[in-house]
Structure 1
Amino acid sequence: MSRSKAVDSEHFDIVVVGGGHNGLVAATYLARAGRSVVVLERQDHVGGAAVSAEAFPGTGARLSRYSYLVSLLPRRIIEDLQLDLELVRRRYSSYTPLPGSDAGLLIDNTDRRATRRSFRRVGADSDAGGFAEFYACTSLLAEKLWPTVTEPLLRRSEAQALVGDDSVWADFIERPIGEVIERFAQQDLVRGVMLTDALISTFARAHDENLQQNKCFLYHVIGGGTGDWDVPVGGMGAVSGALEKAAREAGVVIRTEAEVTAVAPNGVVHYQQADGASVRLSGEYVLANVTPGVLGSLMGGPDAAGFAPSSHPVAEGAQVKVNMLLSRLPQLKDPQVTPEQAFGGTFHINELYSQLEDAYGAAESGRFPDLLPIEIYCHSLADPSILSPELREAGAHTLTVFSLQTPHRLLREADHDEQRAALQQAVLSSLNSVLAEPIEDCILAGPTGAPCVETKTTLDLERELGLSGGNIFHGPLSWPFADDDDPLDTPARRWGVATDHPRILLCGAGSRRGGGVSGLGGHSAAMALLEED
């Protein structure tokens, strides 16, 4: 076949553009319902951001390279698709050192007395009750709203009635989250712990009137009806692997190294194979498991019949992710907390309430914060299976670091390599500020002698995964319910996956309720099409 010759057109009931976890969820549901489904994936593997990789070749460690924890994947999807997937609950919620001291706040999910003593150690004994009351409110939201995410959208007034507590609703849904945090807690450190869930990949202030921080916070505290974040045994690759297996067993056709170049409102899709051949196929419906921004650009190509993509707000990512392989966990300045405890949950560093505000101000003025707010996860403490037997025997561990308040707008193509290196060093310096020894002394050297550290910026995510602006949510987050006057007159609208074109549906994180490793975008798209039929 010549490189310029187009392959004869094929037709499927469903064409899924993008083989990330949401696309696989949608494809599997629909194939099990008897539809012919093809998934087109640009990379040589499926899974999107939910993958594992030997980031440091020859070491025997497979890290969750991009996403890292699971909270929003409903048990219903796991059971419906019969996914062979094990999730592990972490004992410790978080550890947060108090800057300028050798003490920190350790939140122990199983020992309330220990947690109360920890509040006392950081001078926040009076905040312990408010902290518990604050999270009792989020537990109510989780209990009431979580079961709705696998159903058609409620309207705002219906969701409020379901929650059944107008004061909780007003605090978390209608007013900036900073107001309620400041009412429930007084200490800078405690307020910071409460705010961080509102700022994951969301460049915002606690008091922003657009409430993007509230939306981000809500999704971080309702998962599973509890807000707990679990570790997938085997890493994120186990999630995408289980989904790929389920999809293939259901009869889904998966084509990798198939880069989609155009999507038309009539269901015609063009893609290019690795050998350069152009392929044209069509579907009764096209499910877009790409960002709305990418979908808009694809819909300006051949067969678009003059289509001009409608504007869609693009939200930038605001994080840097650093993966590390350590020979051992580092020692802390805090003599009363072990490294296993501190790294056993979410390790917050330089995330005081005031520091998060200062970091925002620095980034808004055009520079990265001097002291990066970061949080750390140690997957291998909960799940050592991602390490080779030799690494486990030697006491090695992985660390995943995620920064806050580091927006995409500050990155430049021209000197990205230098910026990436500077951000990596800034992350290490931030971590070192709370350690009793330099983290560099604990980083394992790979077979070539190079330290096992890799850094992924939002620009890397845009290039490698097609995430517009490096935003892991594909765009601005929306509430998990519709406004009272929103039109919900079609299945696609009722499930939050509609576009301007009835045969083109969103099925990724850009759909309503779609953010995070949840499968909800894929589930909603599949349910909308099954309801349509």
Structure 2
Amino acid sequence: MPAALEFSRDVYDAVVVGGGHNGLVAAAYLARAGRSVLVLERLGRTGGAAISTRPFAGVDARLSRYSYLVSLLPDTIVRELGLRFAVRKRTVSSYTPVVRGGRPTGLLVGGDRTRDSFAALTGSDREYAAWEAFYGRIRTAAGRIFPTLTGPLPTRAELRARVADDATWRMLFEEPIGAAIERHFTDDLVRGVVLTDALIGTFAGARDPSLAQNRCFLYHVVGGGTGDWDVPVGGMGALTDALADAARGAGAELVTGHEAIRIDTDGETAEVAFRTRDGEGRVAARQVLVNASPQALAGLLGETPPAPAEGSQLKVNMLLRRLPRLRDRAVDPRQAFSGTFHVAEGYAQLEAAHQQAAAGRLPLAPPSEIYCHSLADPSILGPELAARGYQTLTLFGLHTPARLFPAGAAHDATRDALLKATLAELDAHLDEPIADCLAVDAEGRPCIEAKTPLDLERELRLPGGHIFHRDLSFPYADGTTGRWGVETAHPNVLLCGAGAVRGGGVSGIPGHNAAMAALGR
């Protein structure tokens, strides 16, 4: 199939492989700079993992199916690309239920109840003071680190000088984050709430010497210079729809149903071979930007892939007829679920779950965190559902690495067992089972779906189901990275996916940085 029959040009300035959010960011920047740009997307729609769908048959609820909150997306990208996209702040950061002295209680962080909640849980102001001091340090460092993410990579020494606080640098970049948590806090529940930010999508213990947990923690607390996790208005698909509009509006061509299968390059020009339902074709480009995993990039180039990645999460989407009542009557469910609702995430619980999973067993008390998008943004619900008080819940389970899930029918049985155990941990803090609150779809089935790492690998081609494509890296040059952290061994092939340095999360940062590298900025 000749490219001329498919596209408007024989040779493009840039071909972007993959129409996820980073690929769309790169395409929009390049097209706005006057470059001719073609985006090849394998699936029938753009957006990648940052999409909104109606997963339940006959139900008018549009959920952020995979990724679901925004923290790392810089305002500069939204502003420079003129995106019609907004986020809403969550008034509550988190609520963590626990039973103390036989009585249901919990820790509420956010708003004017935080200090009293700490005092009621721990019996003094010590942990609250430690919390304020710890996160005061983090906020200062975040405000200094975040602006560097959209510029050329600093050296380690340059970034350390910018942080300008040796103690904070040590706890973030040099010693396992568990050491700092144990040094600052004494209450097990408080320690666990802090540790969760080091574990989202990352399989590691608090004192893992690899510091994979530190890198995860860093990216979860630096977003926007504040670490706030915001709700995308209209769902995550509203962001990628806006990015697609921006790219098209600037002149980029976006084609779906086109799967790139090979890249041939001599360092100055390249050809991308692709496959469609109707056959195969090739398109030429001066530069190729790959919005896919490092493993996929190696495959396209015919090179040896990097070490396998392994995801470690359970993603569950639910639609409820109503929010469940809590055993802790001091907190309104609308308040508890509007932030991050932590389940089985005490420090000792998290470490036990990690040890059990590392030994090849499903955690006995699977840790998870939950939030309700529709409380902050009811626009994702149809008018009738909203009027009837329906709500969505998104659950993200931790310490469930891909190695725990066998292939075939055994996979589904394992997933079902994990889901049952995870919901049982949630039910322990509710005054009614979550199953009693679930809505049903047009065929009478409960509105709940669960995705394991293997599901994500199959549906999105995330290697090992890893939501960051591979373990995160520290945001500085280490001698093996290029100027922007997106370069490859081929001068005209760039990596603009989450596996780039400073990748991971819904940020657009790798797409921005690859575009800047392509433009020679």
Equivalent positions of 1:49-60 (< 5 A) are: 49-60=49-60
Correspondence 1:468 to 2:463? yes
> Residue 271 of structure 1 aligns with which residue?
274
1:7 deviates by: 7.4
Match of 1:507 among 484, 496, 507: 496
2: distance between equivalents of 1:341 and 1:102? 16
Q: Is the 8 A contact 1:48 1:465 kept in 2?
A: yes
Correspondence 1:520 to 2:509? yes
Q: Is the 8 A contact 1:71 1:227 kept in 2?
A: yes
Correspondence 1:283 to 2:282? no
2: distance between equivalents of 1:389 and 1:376? 24
1:418 deviates by: 1.6
> Residue 336 of structure 2 aligns with which residue?
342
1:226 deviates by: 0.5
Question: Which runs of 4 or more aligned residues in structure 1 lie more than 3 Å from their structure 2 counterparts after TM superposition?
Answer: 6-10
Q: Is the 8 A contact 1:362 1:368 kept in 2?
A: yes
Match of 2:384 among 390, 396, 418: 390
Q: How many residues align?
A: 511
1:413 deviates by: 1.2
1:501 deviates by: 1.4
Q: Which one-letter code corresponds to 1:60 in the other structure?
A: D
> Residue 292 of structure 1 aligns with which residue?
294
> Residue 103 of structure 2 aligns with which residue?
101
Choose 406-415 or 435-444, whichever is displaced more.
Answer: 406-415
Change (3 A) 1:446 1:495: same
1: distance between equivalents of 2:120 and 2:417? 34
2: distance between equivalents of 1:471 and 1:455? 16
1: distance between equivalents of 2:317 and 2:307? 30
| Secondary structure class of the residue paired with 2:116 | helix
1: distance between equivalents of 2:378 and 2:176? 40
1:427 deviates by: 2.3
2: distance between equivalents of 1:517 and 1:20? 10
Q: Which one-letter code corresponds to 1:331 in the other structure?
A: R
Q: Is the 8 A contact 1:7 1:278 kept in 2?
A: no
2: distance between equivalents of 1:7 and 1:416? 40
Equivalent positions of 1:300-379 (< 5 A) are: 300=302, 308-309=303-304, 311-379=305-373
Q: Which one-letter code corresponds to 1:289 in the other structure?
A: N
- TM-score norm. by structure 2 comes to 0.96
1: distance between equivalents of 2:129 and 2:18? 46
2: distance between equivalents of 1:409 and 1:264? 34
**Identity rate, percent:** 54
Q: Which one-letter code corresponds to 1:434 in the other structure?
A: H
2: distance between equivalents of 1:93 and 1:314? 34
Q: Is the 8 A contact 1:51 1:236 kept in 2?
A: yes
1:487 deviates by: 6.0
Q: Is the 8 A contact 1:30 1:37 kept in 2?
A: yes
1:265 deviates by: 3.1
Q: Is the 8 A contact 1:314 1:476 kept in 2?
A: no
Q: Which one-letter code corresponds to 2:359 in the other structure?
A: S
Correspondence 1:478 to 2:473? yes
Equivalent positions of 1:255-266 (< 5 A) are: 255-266=255-266
> Residue 447 of structure 2 aligns with which residue?
452
1:167 deviates by: 1.1
| Secondary structure class of the residue paired with 1:98 | strand
1: distance between equivalents of 2:354 and 2:265? 40
| Secondary structure class of the residue paired with 1:320 | strand
Show structure 1 runs of 5+ residues with no match.
Answer: 301-307
Q: Is the 8 A contact 1:69 1:231 kept in 2?
A: yes
Query: For 1:123-172, what per-residue CA distance to the aligned partner results, in whole angstroms no more than 9, with x for missing partners?
Result: 25331111111111110111110111111111111111111111111111
Q: Is the 8 A contact 1:474 1:515 kept in 2?
A: yes
| Secondary structure class of the residue paired with 2:122 | coil
The CA RMSD over aligned residues, in Å, is 1.5
Query: For 1:88-140, what per-residue CA distance to the aligned partner results, in whole angstroms no more than 9, with x for missing partners?
Result: 000000000114631000002x31xx211111222253311111111111101
| Secondary structure class of the residue paired with 1:406 | strand
| Secondary structure class of the residue paired with 2:131 | helix
2: distance between equivalents of 1:322 and 1:430? 14
> Residue 175 of structure 1 aligns with which residue?
175
